[in-house]
Structure 1
Amino acid sequence: MTPVAKPQASSIECAPGASPRTAFIERSHERSKALGLTRAEKCEFDPLVRSDLALARERNHRLYLHAAPVMHLLLEQIVNTESMILLTDAQGTILHAVGDDHFLARAGRVALMPGENWAEHSKGTNAIGTALFEEAPTLVHAGEHFMLANDFLTCSAAPIFDPRGAMLGVLDVTGDHRGYHQHTMGLVRMSARMIENHWLSDDNNNRLRLHFHSRAEFIGTLLEGILVVGADGRLLGANRGGLDQLGLSDAALRAMSLPSLFGTTTAAVYDHFRMPMSAPMRLTTVCGKTFFVTARFDWPSRPVIAGLGLDEPTPAAARPRPATVPVPAAAPHGLQYLRTGDAQIEQVVAKIRRILDRDIPLLILGETGTGKEVLARAVHQDSKRASQPFVAVNCASIPESLIEAELFGYEDGAFTGARRKGAPGRLVQANGGTLFLDEIGDMPLQLQARLLRVLQERSVTPLGSNKSIPIDIALISATHRNLREMIEHNEFREDLYYRLNGLALRLPSLRDRSDLEAMTRRILQAERPQDAPELSAQVAELFRRYPWPGNIRQLANVLRTAAVMSAGEHQITVAHLSDDFIEDARRAGPRPPALVEPARPLEIPPAAVQSSLAPAPTPTSIPATPHSLEQASIEMIRAALEAAGGNISAASKQLRISRNTIYRKLRWSNGG
């Protein structure tokens, strides 16, 4: 069950029964009723289809990268407590869940599983949905859930924000209400802060970061503040702990500089921490608050977004650094990172460079998974707007009833179910930067006229407001649909089409590209930078023959799994590929000559070699009689795999051994 902080008069996490908490739950119940939900309502299952869930996970892959290790640590704290840990996106859709197997099964009966949406409009009062609405840590215990079917749960949830205050998602611990523990909420809140701190550091891993606290012993803990400083001394951001200690809002902080806040300069900070093991600096703000400060400055090592990452490092010449820190060789980034030898991509990049920073809208066409968002991010990073926000909106993933509010924003109380303090909307969030409208072909027809007006007038009016907000954005749109056909069927506005189509570019499908090998190497290098594996000849041939219906996204997912499965080995073999992928490859067309690696000579330790043994068979020869029980079992496994067409699941059933045993023995036989 989930824990709670000590009762406070203004805290929503006060102990069960306290009046502020009761009023808080009652407000959520009123919203649930206004949304048309009933307490006796049965939990309906409405999960995302497998492809949509995969897409949602891909869009939130960076969030998962930062959350996964934190979830693992949190799981160690609640193991064997009939609990589970959930990560959702900013819309309340569950992306990942880990926990006790028995409790995961129980939770599944009330749709508490990946792919399900737990926003208030879907499930009524619950910790995830209410934390999203209130934008604050939330505990919902037993019968406080709006739907009675959920009253066996106690849930503690904390929202996760990016450095600019935009909602990224929610971290939640849910358990049996009988196991309620008062410390759970504290663990969840600290874990959410840890994810936020990781995100802040990753966003600014090539900039000076000051870690501070009024007490030196708290530096390096979750209570510390983190301050990001630009090369010119401007303050670029801080974590929530830092803002709280300084007593500043994010906007107020960004209007200040290191000299105006602490009366010192970046040069003085670098000089102080030039030597290893330097003692913390003692700095005092203009308001008289004294803090102990340490400095960190990490060079970015590699881009990371699904193996095609585009977190652009600051140009080396612009980076502030101590004289003792060597400058690493600059890695390709932006549009340059996409150039892997394919002539079609070269043409796309050349066209984009001609219109870069010319205020010409870009429309990216192509099948799902071809890397449309990756290209959009690359364009942003190579533009003059690179230091400003890049805001991506997937028009197909946001419920039709909410997309207008998501895009244009809304005032407090503009409609039932709106967040308490209103929201600025994605268009305003992108002001000064780039707005990426993915799957624009799925935008409801009635909203297309309003979007056209906003793009023409360069201003937006939030729902429930009479105030027009000017915006300055670069616009990139993308779709896998045929917009011209949609126009003919009155499903897409022709005037909006020509407003979006300043330059239309089509990304080729992966099966039509000539750079599969180069992309494979780049993805594997991103997944395992220290020991990137190679593909075996059979896997390379399989990849060349496979049609890749999921395009680059599918390739990245296949390689990510294979990189994990082959950990500690230098080559990816068929044994490291997912059974689903192998089965798809068999159904896709003519099967490659061998979906199972050919037998390799048995490597016997020198001490065990006997002169009477016959030479080991070569891959093309008829296998000789096995020289040991271990080799005999390996040959039997290979024969079963051959008969099963490479299907490891079928072979394991035939042999009555586990798939893990098959993987282990094949790795042993290949010298792994």
Structure 2
Amino acid sequence: MASFNTEFDQTLHHAWHLFREGHDVPHHDVPDTVQRSWSRSRDYGLNESARILFDPVPRARIRELSEQHRQLLELVQPDMTRLFDTLSSRDWALAFLEAEGCVLASIGGEKPDMRDVVTALRPGVNLSEHIAGTSGPACVLAEGRPAVVSGGEHFFEAIRRFSCAAVPVMSPQGGLAGVLNGSRCHDGRPLGVIEPLMLAARSIENRMVEALPGATVIRLHCDPAFVASPLAGVIALSDQGTVLGATAYARHLLGLDSTEPAGIDALLDTTHDALLDALRDTSRPARLWRHNGIALHAQRVQREPARGVPRPAARTASGAASPRFDRQTHRAVWQAERVYAQGLPVLITGETGTGKEVLARHLHDTGPRSQGPFVAINCAAIPADLIESELFGYEPGAFTGASRHGKPGKLEQANGGTLFLDEIGDMPLPLQARLLRVIQERAVTRVGGTRLLTLDCALLCATHRDLRRSVQTGEFREDLYYRINGLSVSLTPLRAREDFEALIDTLLAELGAPGRPLRLDSASRQRLRQHRWPGNIRELQQVLRLGAALSHDGIIRSDDLPAELVAPTDNTLQPSQTLQSAERAAIVQALARNGGNVSATARELGVARATIYRKMEPFELEGVRDLDSDRGEAAD
């Protein structure tokens, strides 16, 4: 045993000697869970002095485990990182084990006195009881329940300087998917922290159920206030209403036997069709009833990616990771799916980098035209004199330099599929008139030609501008605006998203190597929080990629981030400055940080929006008014 300075350690020391001598150990001295594990470990013939946990693990075995459990790791790592950041990080090491006992991923243990436990928790090490003896993970693997093992309660001497808490993570089918473990140095007292681990485990279980393909996902709780929280149970149903998977808490709420497949009508006092109808409104929970009269509250989850927004790990055509959309946007996305499926146009608004093309591709991929082409054209990136030929195509010899074979335009190429016009607010007025005719007539004439070519394509448009304002100023045709705006979906800028921290963790998990996730230290994470993100998710992805490339130990620090990420501002009033000039400088700097958005600037400075407008004329900032109007709908 290790040193015995506390009453707890002395009691354990005495209990261990009783055990070794074959005597009964008082139940109040050592928990029954630990005593049963001691007995099993002895029956396995383990030697308490063994150091098997420190033996080398073949790299081929680590690669094999990572490949075998790649999808599970993708679901686990964001919650592991988030949990680690909520703990006293330097004092803890976290690990996730698969159901057979092998460590798949670990994080933490930066302090020198944590070196041994970090070695014992490295990927590939098997912590099953028949190999590693009594420990928190071993007890969970053996008995399927949360376990805490402190100091001398461990069977192996080599790890008695540490304490660990471990909880099971259950699969959607009701079996054990793995174990989440937290370890720290033993301080002479029993370890009592297990609640954060249980919450993280429940979040992982929720993720696993929500990731089941081709399923209707429903959140359940007895209290409607907790339906949208990680405390809710989650269940996934097939198109026929059969349970495909459920979290442990959902099984408890529904009285679901994990070994038997069941239909939802056997669990609730409703039919599958009636259930879907009751959950049609995804903005608030619906009340359901079990056959025994117990009331539950339920809400349908917007699917990712089958019927909702794309999963974080999905890839765009360019190969970049597709960002998730925030919870505020889920209902708008669901409405856009319905509208697009009926052949109506959808207008997507939002700042640069918020994911407008990602949403457009999602609508195409999940809609009735998914087997047809997706043709995208950026109206702001093509020279004005080429937009017409790009859109409508041209006949042979239509202009100098034209191909002698002619060329079909984007509208023709999109036949049977979807045409996506990005930054349509930058389209020249003459072309707006011709596009309007094409949309009305569903036919196009190539440049230099006379034949009418029939078109059959869905139309999606996107812009960062306020098109209603552009209509008022005469920069955009009113009749075209109403033709392309069957439904308007506004994407939230990154700085206003509620899931900013979760999005960072998801992107870090994608960039990290299997079993060795990336994470941010507290200073670099604070810099990310303070930045205004004018480039939104696209900018965040690039910043994290740079940090990952410069990090040498899996921890992204401030020095690994771009120097301009949060440019320090000099707020010192110079002798030559008047109070008025300092006030003007503060407003100008705030406007720059907020991309010219007056509402956001007013919120940052803690004044009314009218105050900013009132200062514009004396400070010669009148031009900002138009900039704010151009961006207002997308940014506010």
Q: Give yes or no for TM over 0.5.
A: no
TM bucket normalised to smaller: 0.3 to 0.5
TM-score when scaled to structure 2?
A: 0.45
